[in-house]
Chain A
Amino acid sequence: MKTALLIALLASAPAGASKFDDVESSSKIPAWLKVSGLVDGRAYTAGREDSWLRQGTGRLRYGGSNGHDAARLSLSQASLVLDADLWSKASFHLHTNLTTDPPADHSPIGIFEAFLQADRKYYGTGVRARAGALMPLLSWEHPDGAWSTRYTLTPSAIGSWVGEDVRVFGVEAVAERPIVKPVVGRFTFGTFIGGDQIGRLLWYRSWALHDYQADIAARYSTPNGTIRPFSEIDGRAGYYVRGDVDILEQLAQVGAGYWTNNGHNGQGRGAGGPVALPGPPVPGPGLPGPNLIGADAEAYRTEVQHIGAKAEWKRLTVITQTMKVTIQRANGGPIDWSDAFLLASYQWKKWRASARYDRFWATNLDYGFAWTLFGAYDFDVRNQLAAEWVYLSARPGEPVFPRSQVDRLFQINYRLRF
C-alpha cells in the first residue's frame, strides 16, 4: 500500500505539465529528498523442512510444512529508502523493510539502517563518515539499493549471516585515495555499541542461506530462548577495520578486514564477572538438542576475519570471499564458523546467469555446502524477472549430531525498483 502510494506520488506531476517538463523534478517530492526502494514478490516451492525463521529445521528462507513440500507466494521484501540532503555535504539515510515472512513472533516491518552521513575531499583524499545504525562493510554481494543483491536472490552463507545478524550502532570513517594510478586504496574504521549477541545465531543454527534482512530491533525466538543480536550487555564498545585496494575501479577489487564486538564472555546477568557457558554447545533447529548456548542476557565475544575479491572482465563478474567467525567460550576454547564461496555471474544484454558454490564448516559441529543457480531477465533497470534454485546439504559433526540434512528451494521473483 505504502509502495503504491509512493509510486503514485513519484508519477504525479502538476496539472497542465508540459511535455518538455522534467516530471520527476516537478513532482511533489522536494529536491532535497530522494526516495527509492524495491518490491520483491515471490513464488516458491520448497522442501519438507520448514525454515529456521519459523522455528523449523530448514536452513533456507522458505521451507515446507508438516513434513511436506510447500508451494506459496510471498512478499519477500518491500523496501522504502529515503536519502535527505541536510546541507551540502551531509545527508540522512533511512531504510525500512516490510516482509510477509518475518521471523516467528517478530514484526513484519522494521528499520534496516538509519544514519547520518557526510563526505568530502581533502587534498585528493575522499573521506566519508557515518553515524547511527549501520550495516558495516562485510558483504560483497549487496551493491544495489536497499542493500539488495545483484547476482542472485539468495546471498551466500556469509551475506545471509551478515544480513540476519550483523548491524552496529556507532560511527564509521572511510578514507580513500589513489596510491599509484590506476590503483586506489581505501581504509575503514568503525566503533560501536550493541552486538553483544552477534554470532549466537550461528551457534544455535550454524550457517544458512536466505535473503531475510533483520531490522535494528531484531529478535529471533527459538524453542530454547530468544536471541537479540544487537543488544548491549557488557558496556564495552566493539570495533572494526577494513582495507581495500581497487585496480581500474571495477576491474579488480581486493579487501580484508577484522570485526569484533569486544564482548566480555558471559557478563551481563547481574552479578559481576564472566560465567561459565555450557559446553559442548548444542545448536538448535538444524541440529536439535536440549540446550542453547548461554542465556538470553549474556554477552559473547565474537570476532570476524574476512577477505574477499571481485573481478569484472567484460560481461563476467567473479566474486570470492571467505570468513571466519570465532566465538569465545568461558570454558572449552573458541569455536570457529567458516564459510567460503565462489560466485560467477555473466550478463548478456538484458539477461544474467549466475552460479555460486558455498562451502561451510564449524569446528567439530557442522560441515556442508550449497549450490545456487540464478537466471534473470531485466525488462529495464526497474523491472526484473528472476528464477533461482538453491540446494544446501549439511552434515553436522558426528557423533553428537548424526543427522544430515538437505534443503531445496526453487523460487521465481519479480523485482520492481523505484
Chain B
Amino acid sequence: MKASARIAAASACLLGASIAAAADLTVSVRDLGGAPIEDAVVFVYEASGKFAPPKEPAVMDQIDKTFVPRVLAILAGTKVRFPNKDDIHHHVYSFSKARKFDLPLYKGEPTDPIAFETPGLAKLGCNIHDWMMGYVLILENPYFAKTAKDGTAHLKNVPAGTYKLALWSDRRKEPVEQALKTVSIGKDEKVSFKLAFGPLKLPKPPAVKAYK
C-alpha cells in the first residue's frame, strides 16, 4: 500500500472514531408528581477543552412587556442582543454577579450587544415594568439544552466520556450541585431528572396600569 493510501485509510479511521465518540443525549425533566418541567436547562457540569463562543449574537427580545425567551442559555463569551419590539420604552438591567449591566430607556435595538463572559446566572429586569423577569444562564461548555413543554431536552454531539450532568431551573432553590447526575456518553442515550420544583411564577402584569 502506498503511503498516501495508508494516510487516507488512517484518516478515515480517525474520522470514524471521532464521529463514533460524539453522541446525543435525551434528558427528561419532571417533578415528583411526574409533570414535565419546561424552561429547565440541562448541561454538562464540567468538560475539558476551550470552547469558542458563536460569532452570531444570541437574542433576548422584549415582546408585549415580556422577555422572550424567558430563559436563555448561552456559552460564556456569547454576545446577546436585546431588541425591544414593543411600542414603548424598556430599561433592561441585571444586577447579577455574573453580568451587571443596564440599558437605559430605549426603543428598538440598543447600539451594541452585551457580552456575557463569566459563567453563572444573570437575572434580568425592566426598570419601567417591574414584573418583567428573564434569565440568562452562562455556561462553560457548549453541551447544554433547554427543556421544551414536554420536559425533554436534547444535548447534541457530546464527546464520549463520563460526565456529571447538571440541571438549572428558576423553580428550584437548591444549588445545581445538589442534583448532579453521572452519565456515560456513548452508553446512555436517555437520562431523567425527577426532582422537587417550586410553583411556576410567570411575569404578572398588573390588571390596571400604574400611573407611570
Q: Do A and B come from one complex?
A: yes
Question: Considering the complex, which residues of chain A in the window 60-91 have a beta carbon less than 8 Å from any beta carbon of chain B?
Answer: none
- Knowing A126-B207, A347-B104, say if A18 contacts B123 (CB, 8 Å): no
> Does the CB pair B102–A380 fall under 8 Å?
yes
**Nearest chain A CB to B174's CB is how many angstroms away?**
8
Q: Complex formed: what's the CA distance from A349 to B168 in Å?
A: 34
Contacts of B89 in A (CB 8 A): 250, 312
**Contact residue among B102, B107, B208 (Cβ-Cβ distance under 8 Å from A126):** B208
Contacts of B127 in A (CB 8 A): 381
B49 interface residue (CB < 8 Å to A): no
Q: Complex formed: what's the CA distance from A137 to B119 in Å?
A: 45
Least CB separation from B92: chain A residue? A381
- Knowing A126-B208, A128-B206, A249-B87, say if A16 contacts B175 (CB, 8 Å): yes
- Knowing A119-B207, A119-B208, A143-B212, say if A22 contacts B105 (CB, 8 Å): no
- Knowing A380-B102, A381-B102, say if A120 contacts B93 (CB, 8 Å): no
B120 interface residue (CB < 8 Å to A): yes
Q: Encode B109-146 as 1/0 by CB contact (under 8 A) with A.
A: 00000000001110101010000000101000000000
B173 interface residue (CB < 8 Å to A): yes
**Contact residue among A16, A120, A249 (Cβ-Cβ distance under 8 Å from B207):** A120
Interface residues on B, range: 35 or more
Q: Complex formed: what's the CA distance from A184 to B211 in Å?
A: 13
B20 interface residue (CB < 8 Å to A): no
B8 interface residue (CB < 8 Å to A): no
Contacts of B88 in A (CB 8 A): 248-250
**Nearest chain A CB to B210's CB is how many angstroms away?**
7
Q: Complex formed: what's the CA distance from A387 to B135 in Å?
A: 35
**Contact residue among B93, B107, B168, B198 (Cβ-Cβ distance under 8 Å from A20):** B168
> Does the CB pair A246–B208 fall under 8 Å?
no
Q: Complex formed: what's the CA distance from A377 to B157 in Å?
A: 48
Which stretch from A23-31, A105-113, A288-296, A326-334 is at the chain B interface? Answer: A23-31
Q: Encode A262-296 as 1/0 by CB contact (under 8 A) with B.
A: 00000000000000000000000000000000000
**Contact residue among A17, A21, A381 (Cβ-Cβ distance under 8 Å from B91):** A381
**Contact residue among B95, B107, B177 (Cβ-Cβ distance under 8 Å from A18):** B177
A127 interface residue (CB < 8 Å to B): yes
> Does the CB pair A143–B210 fall under 8 Å?
yes
B98 interface residue (CB < 8 Å to A): yes
**Contact residue among B93, B95, B211 (Cβ-Cβ distance under 8 Å from A143):** B211
Q: Encode A5-21 as 1/0 by CB contact (under 8 A) with B.
A: 00000000010111111
Contacts of B95 in A (CB 8 A): 380-382
Q: Complex formed: what's the CA distance from A22 to B70 in Å?
A: 14
- Knowing A18-B175, A137-B211, say if A380 contacts B206 (CB, 8 Å): no
Question: Considering the complex, which residues of chain B in the window 54-113 have a beta carbon less than 8 Å from any beta carbon of chain A?
Answer: 87-89, 91, 93, 95-98, 100, 102, 104-105, 107
Q: Complex formed: what's the CA distance from A128 to B210 in Å?
A: 10
B170 interface residue (CB < 8 Å to A): yes
**Contact residue among A20, A251, A381 (Cβ-Cβ distance under 8 Å from B120):** A20
- Knowing A143-B211, A249-B209, A250-B88, say if A350 contacts B104 (CB, 8 Å): yes
Q: Complex formed: what's the CA distance from A251 to B123 in Å?
A: 29
A40 interface residue (CB < 8 Å to B): no
B6 interface residue (CB < 8 Å to A): no
Least CB separation from B137: chain A residue? A20
> Does the CB pair A23–B176 fall under 8 Å?
no
Q: Complex formed: what's the CA distance from A347 to B91 in Å?
A: 12
Q: Complex formed: what's the CA distance from A184 to B119 in Å?
A: 43
Contacts of A101 in B (CB 8 A): none
Contacts of A378 in B (CB 8 A): 102, 104
> Does the CB pair B209–A176 fall under 8 Å?
yes
Question: Considering the complex, which residues of chain A in the window 107-140 have a beta carbon less than 8 Å from any beta carbon of chain B?
Answer: 119-121, 126-128, 137, 140
A interface with B by C-beta (< 8 Å): 14, 16-26, 31, 119-121, 126-128, 137, 140, 143, 174-176, 182, 184, 186, 244, 246, 248-251, 312, 314-315, 347, 349-350, 378, 380-382
Smallest CB-CB A-B distances: 6 pairs: A126-B207, A18-B175, A119-B207, A128-B208, A19-B120, A143-B212
5 contacts between A and B (CB under 8 A): A18-B177, A184-B209, A378-B104, A381-B95, A381-B125
